């Protein structure tokens, strides 16, 4: 471990450093063990970062942190009457990542780092890249929406992109556990708040951009500029990228970054490959996935008849983003084929369950109008019977989406069950009425119900689905709680399905 004196000398050379206040020279001989931004995590040897949040100001807890063993503080405004050294930074929250990077020896410089950003497809794309890396012989860690993996153990993620100190701790663990690489989702919130400071990437993927989080960013243009910070601020020399050539915002990145960035696209059955773009053509499609022909930027066949074990033609785009990035990093076609064909099912991303009565249920995180449209369109193509949609909308989030969700569901599904999805402080019945308000004129045979209790809604759909029907349960994906104003209740769509299946059919072969 570093002595505080040595640590402060190193950190003083970093951007956003302003000054250091030392009131007692004897404190500089203490050892530094980690970086923390909440007092519950502070231990003897911690650097405590005073983050100003929307509800609390970490400066108010500085004395508590010192009593718990903090050997130094990182502050925006110096605090009187505290004897431990204070590192003054213009932005402690973003500086936190650099504190961790310096303390742990810049682990991102010792790993092959890949970031994935965009509105939709980040999680699936990271899973694909990680599987390809593993098959090419690189032990790979993961930081994303569902899990964090340090190369040995998995733990549930509490947010897509952790705070800067958390990212650096996980990167250290990956390095120490023998990982050669890390694949990370980069959320717009994380990028805007500087949580990726201290990270340097070898490669990155931009999937697409559609309206989301505008309550935070204010406009689609600001949302895009948050995403592009990954490429502007955090890339190593000689980096490579992959950007969706059929996305308006992806085209902008291709134009602006020139030789570093590779375009990718999914082309039609009769459409020729595009010069200068990695292209995929779907040659077969069904409930078990699809088959792709993959062409390199010289329009030559790169991988012939590649099995992709995922439903949804938009997953062909995710596959092409992963393939374009990995090939640009020098990974061979054989490793890419093995990685894609053997990738695990992604929790909450078109996660598929087949039951003995020939009813198929699919769990997906789709929670925006665009996401729901893509999921239902994909499932409609492989549904032999009626298509059911079970969904709601989160409270205190993008209220303008609600009627649009109703319009999408009533246009594409045959049966719609509107239910609860993290109502927070809002009345879930009010949310349901707002969704209903957008429903288009029903087609022949269409029916819909409002069943607020999510467990009852799922069971109603599964009880009433006929052989050949497909039930899409969307909005929450792998989430493990229902969030109310004053509490979080344990709830998983997957466990509801498993419990229903056990009660109806007894043990099932995929029941774990």
Is residue 118 annotated as involved in ligand binding?
Answer: yes
What is the Cα–Cα distance from 292 to 303, expressed in whole angstroms? 8
Is residue 248 annotated as involved in ligand binding?
Answer: no
Is residue 341 annotated as involved in ligand binding?
Answer: no
| Alpha-carbon separation of residue 64 from 40, 42, 81, 257, 362 (angstroms) | 10, 9, 13, 47, 47
Is residue 187 annotated as involved in ligand binding?
Answer: yes
Beta bridge partners of 424: 484
Beta bridge partners of 362: 352, 472
Is residue 479 annotated as involved in ligand binding?
Answer: yes
Is residue 119 annotated as involved in ligand binding?
Answer: yes
Is residue 227 annotated as involved in ligand binding?
Answer: no
Is residue 271 annotated as involved in ligand binding?
Answer: no
Question: Phi-psi category of 118—alpha, beta or left, where left has phi over 0 and alpha has psi -120 to 50?
Answer: left
Is residue 423 annotated as involved in ligand binding?
Answer: yes
Residue from 313, 308, 307, 282 nearest 295 by CA: 282
Longest dimension (CA), the chain: 81
Cβ pair 401, 435 in contact under 8 A: no
What is the Cα–Cα distance from 472 to 375, expressed in whole angstroms? 8
Is residue 211 annotated as involved in ligand binding?
Answer: no
Residue 80: CB atoms within 10 Å: 5
Which residues does 62 contact at the CB level (< 8 Å), separation at least 6? 48, 50, 70, 73, 75, 79, 82
Which residues does 178 contact at the CB level (< 8 Å), separation at least 6? 139, 151
Is residue 291 annotated as involved in ligand binding?
Answer: no
Taking the CA of residue 196 as centre, how many other CA atoms within 13 Å lie in the half-sphere pointing to its CB? 30
Is residue 6 annotated as involved in ligand binding?
Answer: no
Is residue 397 annotated as involved in ligand binding?
Answer: yes
Is residue 377 annotated as involved in ligand binding?
Answer: no
- What residue numbers does the annotated binding site for meso-2,6-diaminopimelate cover? 397, 421-424, 475, 479
- What residue numbers does the annotated binding site for ATP cover? 118-124
- What residue numbers does the annotated binding site cover? 39, 118-124, 160-161, 187, 193, 195, 397, 421-424, 475, 479
């Amino acid at each position: 471990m570093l002595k505080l004196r040595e640590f402060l000398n190193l950190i003083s050379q970093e951007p956003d450093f302003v000054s250091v206040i030392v009131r007692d020279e004897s404190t500089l001989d203490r050892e530094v063990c980690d970086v923390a931004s909440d007092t519950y995590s502070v231990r003897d040897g911690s650097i405590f970062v005073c983050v100003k949040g929307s509800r609390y100001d970490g400066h108010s807890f500085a004395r508590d942190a010192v009593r718990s063993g903090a050997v130094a503080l990182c502050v925006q405004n110096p605090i009187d009457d505290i004897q431990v050294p204070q590192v003054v930074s213009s932005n402690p929250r973003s500086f936190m990542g650099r504190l961790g990077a310096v303390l742990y020896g810049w682990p991102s410089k010792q790993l092959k780092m890949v970031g994935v950003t965009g509105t939709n497809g980040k999680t699936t794309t990271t899973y694909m890249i990680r599987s390809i890396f593993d098959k090419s012989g690189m032990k790979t860690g993961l930081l994303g929406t569902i899990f964090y993996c340090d190369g040995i153990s998995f733990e549930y993620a509490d947010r897509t992109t952790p705070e800067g100190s958390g990212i650096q701790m996980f990167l250290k663990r990956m390095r120490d556990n023998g990982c050669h690489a890390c694949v990370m989702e980069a959320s717009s919130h994380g990028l805007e708040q500087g949580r990726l400071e201290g990270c340097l990437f070898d490669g990155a993927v931009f999937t697409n951009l559609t309206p989301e989080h505008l309550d935070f960013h204010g406009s689609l243009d600001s949302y895009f500029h948050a995403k592009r910070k990954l490429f502007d601020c955090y890339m190593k020399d000689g980096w490579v990228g992959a950007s969706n050539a059929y996305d308006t915002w992806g085209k902008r990145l291709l134009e602006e970054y020139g030789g570093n960035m590779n375009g990718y696209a999914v082309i039609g059955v009769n459409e020729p490959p595009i010069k200068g773009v990695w292209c995929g053509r779907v040659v077969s499609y069904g409930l078990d996935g699809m088959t792709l022909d993959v062409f390199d930027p010289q329009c030559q066949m790169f991988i012939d008849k590649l099995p992709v074990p995922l439903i949804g033609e938009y997953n062909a785009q995710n596959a092409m983003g992963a393939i374009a990035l990995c090939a640009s990093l020098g990974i061979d076609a054989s490793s890419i084929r093995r990685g894609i064909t053997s990738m695990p099912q992604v929790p909450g991303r078109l996660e598929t369950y087949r039951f003995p009565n020939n009813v198929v249920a699919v769990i997906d995180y789709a929670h925006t109008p665009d996401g729901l449209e893509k999921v239902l369109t994909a499932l409609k193509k492989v549904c032999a019977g009626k298509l059911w949609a079970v969904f709601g909308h989160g409270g205190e989030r993008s209220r303008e989406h609600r009627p649009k969700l109703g319009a999408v569901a009533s246009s594409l599904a045959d049966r719609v069950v509107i239910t609860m999805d993290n109502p927070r402080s809002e009345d879930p019945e009010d949310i349901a009425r707002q969704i209903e308000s957008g429903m288009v004129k029903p087609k022949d045979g269409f029916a819909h119900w409002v069943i607020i209790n999510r467990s009852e809604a799922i069971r109603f759909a599964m009880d009433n689905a006929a052989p050949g029907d497909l039930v899409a349960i969307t909005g929450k994906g792998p989430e493990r709680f229902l969030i109310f104003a004053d509490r979080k209740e344990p709830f998983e769509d997957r466990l509801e399905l498993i419990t229903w299946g056990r009660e109806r059919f007894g043990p099932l072969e995929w029941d774990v």
